[in-house]
Every structure is written in structure tokens, then in C-alpha cells.
Amino acid sequence: MKSSGSTAKKSQSLFLNERFMAVTCLIVLVTGLVSLYFSIREGEAFEVFELVTKLVTAVAMYQAFRFFKWDVAKGLMGGVLFCLMYQEAYLVIAKLWSEQDFDAYLVVGVQGSLYLAAAGMAFLMTVIITINHFFINYSSHGNEKNMILNRMALLVKFVVYLLLFAANSQLGFPAVVLWKNALWYLTDIALLLLLVSVESQLDSFNALRQELRRDKRERGLNK
């Protein structure tokens, strides 16, 4: 029995580790608060609102999960995804498009073009993930195929954020802008890992609950 328990622990996913969840939540808080400092200093009122909403929603989601308010945690996951989607839409539509900064990025060359492409892809991926999230959490019986699509979309989004982070570091903009952007993307990467952790934990609890129900039913039949 002991050996099987130890092998189960060894093979346990990193996303099912509660310490990993706590660390990712802490990273979200630290990087988010530093980003908030930059935004307040630059007088970016909308960015301040965005960051405060995202941080409060993320911490509330983590706390709801820790105190077994799983339905609340699932709902807040959707809230976090909406925060990300709104932030990315603001970057692509309000900043890059309406302020006509496309030329500034294209002049930089390959890294500027990558940044533009990654920003647009990040927004589209978040739309897909948000739609999938609500289908999974609020459909009557769930949808396993949709869950697989959601995981694939999250994985692609993680790669897109890494691309944004790498392309940003190569851009020739002022140091403050580069640091602020880098901290935003670090916050979002950590937030994405936290979302995957919470989703994985909820899936794990759901699978365990179904297994316990099946065992209880079998014991009842045997009696």
C-alpha cells in the first residue's frame, strides 16, 4: 500500500500541487503590484482599473478554491479570463490600432511584427478559451471534447505569451515601457498557470467524487 501511494505522489501533476498554486498566486500579486506602480506613475487610469480588477479577481478565485467554494472559484475563473480578454482587446484595438502605432512596430522589423502578431493571437485565443470555459462549467453534463480543446488553447496561449515576452525584450522602446510590458506578461503567464492549476484541481476532485460514488454504488449492490 505504501509503495503504491508513493508512486502516485511521484506521478502527480505539478498543477495538482497546492504549493505551486500558492507560488503562482504570489507571483501574480508581486508582478501585478509593481505593474500597478508603473501605471499609477504614468497616470494611465484605465490600466490601473484593469490591473486592480485582474488582481482582485485572481486572488478572490484562489481564496474561493482554498476555502472549498468551488462554484465561486469556477465563476471567478471566467471573471479572470474576461479581464485578460478585455486587456488584450484594449492593447490590440485601442492602443495599436486606434492610436496608429502599427508603423512604429513594423519599422522595428521582425521582432515588431512578431509582437503585433502575438498581441492579436493572444486576444483571439482568450476569446476561444473564455467560450470553452463557459461551455465546460455551465453546460448540464459537461463536454470532454471541449475540455481537451480548452487545454490545447491554454497551451497555445502560454506559447503566445512567451513570444510576446521575448519580442518585447527585443524592441527599441524606452526602458520603462519595456519593463512595464515585461511585468504585465509575467503576471499573465503566472495567472495562466494559476488558472490551469485551479481547473486541474477541480477536474481531479470531480473525478474523485465520481469514483467514490461508483464505489459506494458497488458496495450497495454487493450487500
pLDDT at 10: 46
Q: What is the value of pTM for the model shown? A: 0.80
- Going from the first residue of the chain to its last (223 residues), give the mean pLDDT of each consecutive group of 10, the final group possibly shorter: 44 71 90 91 86 92 84 85 90 80 78 89 90 74 66 86 91 86 91 84 63 63 65
Report the candidate in 154, 179, 86, 160 with the shortest Cα–Cα distance to residue 116: 160
HEC profile for the chain?
A: CHHHHHHHHHCCCHHHCHHHHHHHHHHHHHHHHHHHHHHHHCCCHHHHHHHHHHHHHHHHHHHHHHCCCHHHHHHHHHHHHHHHHHHHHHHHHHHHHHCCCHHHHHHHCHHHHHHHHHHHHHHHHHHHHHHHHHHHHHCCCCCHHHHHHHHHHHHHHHHHHHHHHHHHHCCCCCHHHHHHHHHHHHHHHHHHHHHHHHHHHHHHHHHHHHHHHHHHHHHHHHC
pLDDT at 46: 84
- End-to-end CA distance of the chain: give it in Å, rounded: 26
pLDDT at 106: 78
pLDDT at 4: 43
Query: Three cell numbers at 93?
Result: 484595438
